[in-house]
């Protein structure tokens, strides 16, 4: 079974792909499965990381909106607060089929803090109850990172939104590079050929345009919005002021050879502040790490020349191909392997994608992806206050700069190098498995306990 690389780029809502996007999808799917059942109540128990940091990540809000039938791609962002207030003040919710049920968050939504479910750290147990609290339907669903969800059954039997055959199947970076060499295609061209099994090429390109347009809109919004981010940490948004400063710099400032880095930082901060505020972002490959791909792509389109006629499409296709390697062979979930699975993967994706954008070879792209992860190995997930703000926002700026440097390092060579991307992906997975759970999106270790919340 193969899945589309476009699944790695969901146009969704902040602040977290695993704790917001996934739970909203899961709740909507469960709510839509209840037609004709004689329901009296609905409840959800959250386990593991979802229970530990779900409040800060907006999991409760996402579940309620999902029960109402909203999806991350289309939920009306400007109306979310109003929808939630209606549910909370009336202590009831209206299912997608029009029925209204009593719903009290205090009793019907439970954060089981110390009890992870066996198959993944992000577990949800949905229950549809009838008269006398008889269980009419129940489902255990895991949020796997990057907005992907799977029930227990689906983990054992992969769902059918994938295809059986693609022209260039691969499970490892070595296989991918071998296919590129034998076909004469770059990683982006090969990926585009594979995507043709899912939809016509014109549709793929249209979806890539929609992803890029949303990323640009997100940067614009981040540069326009100001104030304090929600959640109680009193974090002030910085992108707007930085943008104004950059736009008003005098000519002397151009003498600073690193001035471009200020722009890269700006793009990343803008996206991740929008994400922290619950705005519209593209999951790439997660929400916590959503700033790196747009920051590096903004850098590329504004400051670098590409020899290709479709450089943005190539960038995103290459980034998606690299992400599939991590999804297949490791994880995209901070709760599973720490921040190396979010910012580390995004850095690796962006590094390879920038090489493709600049006209580099598949071997150089693989080298860049390897460098991008190698120097993020061991990166923990320890969000202060359980919010996707500190260290997440700045970490995206750092990951973006690191990705650009990884691409530059790779393009000074011919693609041959000592540590393969496959080896570094395996090392990332093993390191994540060995990491104590307090460093994996539980806010029980690292900065989360050493920084006093204001």
Helix (H, G, I), strand (E, B) or coil at 81: helix
Q: Tokens standing for 197?
A: 């099994």
294 vs 311 by CB, closer to ligand SF4? 294
Residue number with the shortest CB distance to ligand SF4?
288
Chain positions contacting ligand SF4, by CB under 6 A: 288-289, 334, 339, 342-343, 381, 383, 388, 391-392, 395, 441
343 vs 406 by CB, closer to ligand SF4? 343
363 vs 442 by CB, closer to ligand SF4? 442
- Nearest distance, CB of residue 435 and ligand SF4, angstroms: 12
- Nearest distance, CB of residue 441 and ligand SF4, angstroms: 5
Q: For the residues of 387-441, what is the DSSP string, one character each?
A: -S-TTHHHHHHHHHHHHHHHHHHHHTS-S--SS-HHHHHHHHHHHHHHS-GGGBS
179 vs 332 by CB, closer to ligand SF4? 332
Residues in contact with 392: Cβ distance below 8 Å, sequence separation at least 6, in sequence order:
272, 276, 288, 289, 343, 383
381 vs 406 by CB, closer to ligand SF4? 381
Total Cβ atoms within 10 A of residue 109: 19
- Number of C-alpha atoms within 13 angstroms, CB side, residue 191? 28
- Nearest distance, CB of residue 233 and ligand SF4, angstroms: 13
366 vs 441 by CB, closer to ligand SF4? 441
Q: Which of 300, 402, 320, 420 is nearest to 360 (CA)?
A: 300
Give the integer Cα–Cα distance in Å for 96 and 98.
5
- Nearest distance, CB of residue 316 and ligand SF4, angstroms: 20
11 vs 388 by CB, closer to ligand SF4? 388
Cα separation of the two ends of the chain: 48
- Nearest distance, CB of residue 144 and ligand SF4, angstroms: 14
- Nearest distance, CB of residue 100 and ligand SF4, angstroms: 35
Q: Is 310 exposed, middle or buried (0-12, 13-18, 19+ CB in 10 A)?
A: middle
Q: Which of 292, 270, 291, 275 is nearest to 231 (CA)?
A: 275
- Nearest distance, CB of residue 240 and ligand SF4, angstroms: 21
**Cβ contact 2:194 at 8 Å:** yes
């Amino acid at each position: 079974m193969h899945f589309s690389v476009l699944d790695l780029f969901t146009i969704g809502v902040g602040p977290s792909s695993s704790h917001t996007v996934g739970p909203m999808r899961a709740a909507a799917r469960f709510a839509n499965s209840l037609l004709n059942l004689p329901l009296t109540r609905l409840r959800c128990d959250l386990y593991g990381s979802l229970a530990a940091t779900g409040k800060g990540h907006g999991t409760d809000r996402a579940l309620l909106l999902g029960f109402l039938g909203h999806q991350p791609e289309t939920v009306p962002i400007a109306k979310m607060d109003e929808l939630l207030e209606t549910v909370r003040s009336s202590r009831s919710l209206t299912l997608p089929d029009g029925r209204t049920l009593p719903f009290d968050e205090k009793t019907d939504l439970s954060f089981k803090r110390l009890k992870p479910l066996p198959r993944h750290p992000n577990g949800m147990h949905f229950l549809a109850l009838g008269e006398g609290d008889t269980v009419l339907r129940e489902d255990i669903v895991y949020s796997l990172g990057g907005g992907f969800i799977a029930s227990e059954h689906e983990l054992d039997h992969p769902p059918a939104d994938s295809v059986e055959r693609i022209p260039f199947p691969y499970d490892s970076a070595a296989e991918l590079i071998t296919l590129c060499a034998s076909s004469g295609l770059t990683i982006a061209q090969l990926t585009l050929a594979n995507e043709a099994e899912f939809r016509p090429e014109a549709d793929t390109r249209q979806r890539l345009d929609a992803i890029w347009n949303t990323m640009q809109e997100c940067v614009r919004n981040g540069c326009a919005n100001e104030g304090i981010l929600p959640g109680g940490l009193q974090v002030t948004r910085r992108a707007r002021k930085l943008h104004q400063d950059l736009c008003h710099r005098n000519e002397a400032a151009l003498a600073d050879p690193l001035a471009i880095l200020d722009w890269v930082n700006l793009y990343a901060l803008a996206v991740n502040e929008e994400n922290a505020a619950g705005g519209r972002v593209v999951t790439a490959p997660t929400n916590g790490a959503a700033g790196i791909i747009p920051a590096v792509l903004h850098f590329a389109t504004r400051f670098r020349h590409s020899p290709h006629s479709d450089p943005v499409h190539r960038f995103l296709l290459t980034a998606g191909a690299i992400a599939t390697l991590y999804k297949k062979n490791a994880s995209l979930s901070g709760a599973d392997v720490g921040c190396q699975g979010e910012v580390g993967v995004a850095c690796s994706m962006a590094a390879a994608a920038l090489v493709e954008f600049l006209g580099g070879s598949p071997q150089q792209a693989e080298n860049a992806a390897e460098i991008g992860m190698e120097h993020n190995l061991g990166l923990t997930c320890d969000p202060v206050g359980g919010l996707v703000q500190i260290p997440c926002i700045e970490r995206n700026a750092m990951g973006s700069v690191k990705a650009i440097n990884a691409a530059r390092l790779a393009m000074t060579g011919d693609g041959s190098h000592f540590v393969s991307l496959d080896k570094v992906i395996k090392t990332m997975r093993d390191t994540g498995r060995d990491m104590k759970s307090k460093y994996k999106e539980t806010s029980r270790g690292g900065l989360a306990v050493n920084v006093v919340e204001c």
